[in-house]
């Protein structure tokens, strides 16, 4: 059965790097964050409705990557999920699309890796919150979500090597 491991957390916390390293370590694949592709194409002046489009795009991408390895016995690493979309909607617009909330209930995952804010900020054209205070506030929101849901999760912090080691240990325990 396909094991799905979601890597979540505030922006610039090493999620994509961790996904890449884990997929390489387990000789598997990882599902990228659809929002990056969408915002690079459509610009960063997004609306509340754009976030629904992004959420649907993320789920379609996840389904596509899941189907690529569903019979391989390898884990799928997913860079973001509907919890991220919920936090993004609520943090920016103060409300969330019902579709996203329904998908949180419907979709099942095997493990969450929550990336902490202890890496240095790396600027790119899509990132919105360079201040540590906002990033820590977002991490607290994610931590609260993780505590109040049923899927096992691990707080991932430290330098890149420490993060990878902690993530591998958590994935090994799952597999």
Domain housing 83:
4-174
For position 118, which CATH number holds?
3.40.50.300
Mean pLDDT by 10 residues, the chain (175 residues): 94 92 97 93 93 98 95 94 96 96 97 92 62 86 96 96 98 96
Write down the pLDDT at residue 164: 97
Write down the pLDDT at residue 121: 72
Domain count, the chain: 1
51, 101 in Cβ contact below 8 A? no
Write down the pLDDT at residue 125: 60
């Amino acid at each position: 059965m396909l094991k799905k491991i979601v890597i979540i957390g505030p922006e610039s916390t090493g999620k994509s790097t961790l996904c890449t390293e884990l997929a390489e370590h387990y000789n598997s694949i990882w599902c990228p964050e659809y929002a990056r592709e969408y915002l690079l194409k459509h610009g960063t002046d997004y609306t509340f409705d754009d976030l629904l489009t992004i959420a649907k795009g993320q789920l379609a991408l996840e389904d596509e990557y899941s189907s690529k390895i569903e019979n391989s016995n390898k884990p799928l690493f997913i860079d973001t999920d509907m919890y991220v979309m919920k936090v993004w909607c609520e943090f920016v617009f103060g409300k969330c699309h019902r579709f996203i909330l329904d998908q949180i209930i419907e979709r099942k995952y095997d493990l969450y890796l929550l990336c902490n804010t202890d890496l240095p900020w790396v600027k790119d054209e899509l990132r919105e919150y360079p201040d540590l205070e906002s990033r820590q506030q977002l991490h607290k929101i994610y931590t609260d979500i993780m505590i109040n849901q049923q899927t096992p999760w691990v707080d991932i912090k430290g330098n890149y090597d420490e993060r990878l080691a902690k993530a591998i240990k958590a994935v090994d325990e799952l597999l």
